[in-house]
Amino acid sequence: MNVLSQKEKQVSIIKIENIHKTYSEHQALKNVSLEIPKGSIFGLLGPNGAGKTTLIRIINQIIEADKGTILFDGITLNENHIRQIGYLPEERGLYKKMKVGEQLIYLGQLRGLSHKEALNSGKSWCEKLKIRDWWSKKIEDLSKGMAQKIQFISTVMHQPKLIILDEPFSGFDPVNANLIKDEILELREKGSTIIFSTHRMESVEQLCDYIAMINKSEKILDGSKQEVREQYRDGSYFVEYRLGEIQPAPDYEVLKTEEISRGLKKSLVKYNTYANPNELLRQLIDQVEIHSFIERIPSMNDIFIHLAKGENPETVAA
């Protein structure tokens, strides 16, 4: 994962300030502010019903925020930006009776391409994803996986600056999911920014540079993946060892211990002083034969569950 340079970080493609949105009785977004750095893969995380889709719909101008502003590349979000955005919604589909080619041209034109541009771009994407033969087939004759490729093409065929994927991997078969992952990385290389919204944390670990977490209509966390992890380090270490037991001491506590094979044990040790881990290691070496000593970096899942439920990541830990 390439980390963005300091210079790039400062430029954001989307700047959201103090967005509020209420549906009759339900407040969907409460004072949400976010910045999405240009050229990043930005993970918008949160449980179902947290307000992710509402936020995405506001960026897509499908609905309007009650309060707050959104800047796209420094300019207040307006209809001209539709051309710059590609959107793959969670609830996605295609016109079943239309042919693949017609459909791509139509959707491309709706995004602001000319007929010719849409035709050329549609064809070259179909070639790239090896589905050129389906150009004249009706959507209803395609398999689900094939239709998913068409949906993806329609999202990116107009070379948008910002690509928004809402739960992109739900419903995608593993082959397509991998293909899409590769394409996403390639698009980022070419300068597109990708927002991707999900409640499945494992995909975030791999792909995202930045994340924001939304829970119960509020943003509860954002920053680069490294920063966030750094923030949630708690000085606990996995220690694998033989011969004897780690004895409790005032500097650290043993959170749990398990035997992983004959004679080999694994303990999670929390170092209370947050000092140099060498100190901790020194104390342990005196007691047992150390085989490995690794800091436990909280996974996104741990942090997410911790924040969403207000639980301590320690109790959630593997």
Partner 1 sequence: MNKIVLIIQREFMSRVKKKSFLLATILVPLIFPSIIGGMVYFKLQEEKNKKQEVVRVLNESDLISFKDSEDYKYLKVNGPLDSAKTLFNQSEDFALVYIPEISIDKPEGISFYAKTTPGVRLVERFEREFERQIRDIKLTRSGLTETQLDELKTEIQITSFNLSETGDEEKSDSNVVFGLGYVTGFLIYIFLFVYGAQVMQGVIEEKSSKIVEVIVSTVRPLHMMIGKVVGVASVGIVQFIIWIVLMGVIWTVVGAFLGIDAAQASGMSSEIQEVPTNDLLDVITGVNWLQVALLFLFYFLGGYLLYGALFAAVGSAVDTPADAQQFMMPIMLPIIIGLMGMFLFVFEEPNGAPSFWLSVIPFTSPIVMMGRIGFGVPAWEIALSMVLLVAGFFFTLWLAGRIYRIGILMHGTKVNYKILAKWLTMKN
Residue numbers at the binding site for partner 1 (CB under 8 A): 23-24, 57, 60-64, 66, 82, 85, 87-89, 91-98, 106-107, 109-111, 154
Closest by CA position to 169, among listed 271, 32, 43: 43
User: Which H or E run includes 295?
Assistant: strand 289-295
- As measured in angstroms, the least distance from the Cβ of 107 to partner 1 is 7
The Cβ-side half-sphere exposure at 212, using a 13 Å CA radius, reads 24
Nearer to partner 1, 109 or 159 (CB): 109
Nearer to partner 1, 97 or 282 (CB): 97
Dist CA 153 CA 107 (whole Å): 10
- As measured in angstroms, the least distance from the Cβ of 19 to partner 1 is 14
User: Which H or E run includes 71?
Assistant: strand 67-72
Nearer to partner 1, 87 or 304 (CB): 87
- As measured in angstroms, the least distance from the Cβ of 144 to partner 1 is 13
Cα angle: 23, vertex 24, 27; to 5 degrees: 45
The set of residues, in sequence order, having a beta carbon less than 8 Å from that of 20 and lying 6+ positions away, is 27, 29, 30, 31, 32, 65, 66, 67, 68
Nearer to partner 1, 52 or 57 (CB): 57
User: Any alpha helices (H) in 47-143, and if so which ranges?
Assistant: 52-59, 100-110, 115-128
- As measured in angstroms, the least distance from the Cβ of 121 to partner 1 is 15
Nearer to partner 1, 157 or 308 (CB): 157
Nearer to partner 1, 98 or 307 (CB): 98
Cβ pair 133, 150 in contact under 8 A: no
- As measured in angstroms, the least distance from the Cβ of 154 to partner 1 is 7
Can you give the C-alpha Rg of the chain in angstroms? 24
Nearer to partner 1, 85 or 212 (CB): 85
- As measured in angstroms, the least distance from the Cβ of 188 to partner 1 is 21
- As measured in angstroms, the least distance from the Cβ of 110 to partner 1 is 4
Which tokens go with 128?
Answer: 């790239």
User: Any alpha helices (H) in 70-210, and if so which ranges?
Assistant: 100-110, 115-128, 144-156, 174-189, 201-207
Closest by CA position to 183, among listed 205, 168, 198, 199: 168
